[in-house]
């Protein structure tokens, strides 16, 4: 399904730029030929006995990662993105728990390649460092596998092992077409790609561009030079659609000096975490003619709803649900009502998604993919107001950091494993005075630990966005507890929120 749509775009715009990364320009014809070449490479090196095939993609933020992703579609194997900067210990867990058969990469050293081959002797590691993106790979490609599962996206898991969200070609196709329709995206548009493949925002950006015939412009946010020159980059490339998490947009607003300079830009699309009122007001000041489109969705369903913000009071509103689902409210007593029902007016409860068609992601666990459910509890606490549905908070310990899903329990578990002298630890997400989130560890210990010492250990097993912003020390017995003896997360959060300093 996805390949047919991309091939249709290639027929319409063969010599048009599909991907641009600095001086590298990949046309739609190049994209098709190169992805077929990678697909042939995958099918020629896999074990013949394997019926379903999984392929890890370990790349930097570069065009090769996208071409390899399309190559996996051609080979009809499931791809699992792996973040380049993740520690070796985490990559090991992904190889093991995702049942990887192959890794495509140009980032592994010879030492690490030998290490993984020793631990996982059946794992095939293919180095694409010398793969020619511009060579004519227009071969007679023969499909050999049959897999409707497009990807497994690793997310934070409370047990310390990655939790995988699986998505089908049918679902990706649906969400992308809804996004194109609602934002009126055409072949004349130029889209940003700030997110790596391991972030579900990239799914929307990449497939939207390839479906519509637009051009996708890659920008690596890990390079500070790129960030400081972002104004110039946006104007030079005549970007029309910006898509990022609000945290990065907020930073861009701080460094942007001149008012209303982005003449080609049509809209700022923000998603992956909460938009703040300050974001809207600052953007309205600097770019009064450029609207913000607030996108709401989960890793399981990339695009549930969205709306153009025309007033500051709309910040936090989820917008109208896509036609594939109905929004429902689960009250404290367990009863579930459509949000339009009179029982829900003025009430606060958990948002529940009732899907009419099978487009919600499922989970991969214990070597098998669970069947997707038509009813999905989001864990988001919302309030039903006259103006719409407004996000309030999470009901659990899951938070968003720069758009990435993070289970605070995973950080707590990692801290205790490295520091046996810590009696109790509770990790919370607090806010800086600017409104940006920060991750704080509150610990009971007779030994004084600082943030640098703890992060040095955590960096061996956790992604960089899960590292601590601060540590707060408590004496034994000082951390507030519930009557059950468990630590009281809400009371601890209140203590931290009352601190005046941004850095703990």
Closest CA to 441 of 474, 400, 477: 474
- Characterize the bridge pairing of strands 325-330 and 336-338: antiparallel
Q: Do domains 2-222 and 323-359+367-394 have the same CATH topology?
A: no
Q: H or E stretch including 243?
A: strand 241-244
- Characterize the bridge pairing of strands 362-365 and 348-355: unpaired
**Whole-prediction pTM:** 0.92
**Low pLDDT (below 50) residues in the chain:** 48-49, 144-146, 501-504
Distance CA 330, CA 345 (A): 12
Span 2-222: which CATH code? 3.40.50.12780
- Find all residues with CB under 8 Å of 29, minimum gap 6, and list them: 10, 14, 15
Distance CA 461, CA 160 (A): 9
- Find all residues with CB under 8 Å of 340, minimum gap 6, and list them: none
Distance CA 207, CA 373 (A): 24
The backbone region for 255, taken as left when phi is positive above 0, alpha when psi lies in -120 to 50, beta otherwise, is alpha
How much is the pLDDT for 145? Answer: 40
Closest CA to 358 of 324, 328, 396: 324
Size (the chain), residues: 504
Closest CA to 38 of 10, 8, 6, 79: 79
pLDDT tens digits, residue range 46-76?
554 455 689 999 999 999 999 999 999 998 8
Query: Taking the alpha carbons of 279, 282, 287, 288 in that order, is the dihedral positive or negative?
Result: positive
Residue 317: strand pairing partners:
390
Span 323-359+367-394: which CATH code? 2.30.38.10
Distance CA 141, CA 144 (A): 9
* Residue keyed to tokens 């610990």: 443
Residue ranges per structural domain of the chain: 2-222, 323-359+367-394, 398-497
Report whether 235 contacts 261 (CB < 8 A).
yes
How much is the pLDDT for 203? Answer: 93
Distance CA 294, CA 268 (A): 8
Distance CA 292, CA 306 (A): 10
Mean pLDDT for the chain? 88
**In the sheet that 437-444 helps form, which strands lie side by side, from edge to edge?**
424-431, 437-444, 470-474
Residue 363: strand pairing partners:
165
How much is the pLDDT for 142? Answer: 52
Q: H or E stretch including 319?
A: none
Buried b (16+ CB within 10 A) or exposed e, 196-210: bbbbbbbbbbbbbbb
Distance CA 163, CA 424 (A): 25
Buried b (16+ CB within 10 A) or exposed e, 36-45: bbbbbbbbee
Closest CA to 56 of 164, 186, 177, 195: 164
CATH topology of domain 398-497: GMP Synthetase; Chain A, domain 3 (3.30.300)
């Amino acid at each position: 399904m996805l390949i047919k749509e991309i091939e249709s775009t290639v027929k319409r715009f063969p010599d048009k730029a599909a991907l641009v990364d600095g001086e590298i320009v990949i046309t739609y014809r190049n994209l098709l030929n190169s992805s077929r070449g990678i697909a042939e490479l995958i099918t020629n090196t896999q074990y013949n006995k394997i019926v379903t095939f999984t392929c890890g993609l370990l790349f930097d933020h570069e065009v090769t990662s996208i071409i390899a992703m399309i190559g996996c579609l051609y080979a009809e194997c499931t791809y699992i993105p792996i973040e380049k900067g993740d520690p070796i210990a985490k990559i090991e867990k992904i190889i093991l728990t995702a049942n990887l058969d192959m890794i495509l990469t140009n980032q592994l050293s010879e030492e690490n390649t030998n290490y993984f081959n020793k631990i996982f002797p059946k794992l095939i590691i293919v180095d694409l460092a010398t793969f020619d993106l511009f060579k004519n790979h227009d071969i007679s490609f023969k499909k050999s596998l049959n897999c409707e599962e497009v990807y497994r996206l690793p997310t934070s898991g409370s047990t310390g092992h990655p939790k995988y969200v699986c998505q089908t070609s049918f679902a990706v196709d649906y969400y992308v077409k809804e996004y194109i329709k609602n934002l009126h995206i055409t072949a004349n548009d130029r889209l940003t790609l700030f997110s790596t493949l391991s972030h579900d925002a990239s799914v929307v950006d990449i497939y939207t561009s390839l479906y519509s015939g637009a051009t996708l412009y890659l920008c690596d946010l890990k390079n500070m030079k790129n960030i400081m020159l972002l104004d110039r980059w946006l104007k030079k490339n005549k970007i029309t659609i910006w898509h990022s998490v609000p945290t990065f947009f907020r930073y861009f607003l701080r460094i942007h000096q001149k008012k209303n300079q982005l003449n080609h830009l049509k809209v700022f699309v923000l998603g992956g975490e909460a938009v703040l009122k300050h974001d809207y007001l600052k953007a309205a000041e600097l770019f009064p003619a450029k609207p913000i489109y607030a996108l709401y969705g989960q890793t399981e369903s990339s695009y549930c709803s969205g709306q153009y913000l025309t007033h500051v009071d709309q910040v936090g509103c989820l917008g109208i649900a896509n036609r594939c689902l109905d929004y429902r409210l689960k009250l404290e007593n367990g009863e579930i009502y459509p949000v339009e029902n009179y029982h829900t007016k003025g009430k606060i409860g958990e948002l529940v998604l009732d899907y009419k068609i099978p487009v919600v992601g499922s989970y991969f666990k214990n070597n098998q993919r669970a069947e997707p459910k038509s009813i999905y509890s989001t864990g988001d606490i919302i309030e039903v107001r006259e103006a719409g549905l407004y996000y309030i908070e999470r009901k659990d310990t899951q938070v968003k950091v720069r758009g990435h899903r993070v289970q605070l329990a995973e950080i707590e578990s990692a801290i205790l494993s490295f520091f046996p002298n810590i009696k109790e630890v509770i990790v919370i997400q607090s806010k800086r005075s600017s409104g940006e989130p920060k991750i704080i560890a509150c610990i009971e210990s007779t030994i004084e630990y600082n943030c640098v010492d703890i992060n040095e250990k955590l960096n061996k097993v956790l992604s960089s966005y899960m590292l601590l912003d601060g540590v707060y020390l408590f004496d034994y017995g000082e951390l507030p507890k519930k009557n059950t003896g468990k630590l009281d997360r809400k009371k601890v959060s209140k203590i931290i929120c009352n601190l005046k300093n941004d850095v703990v």
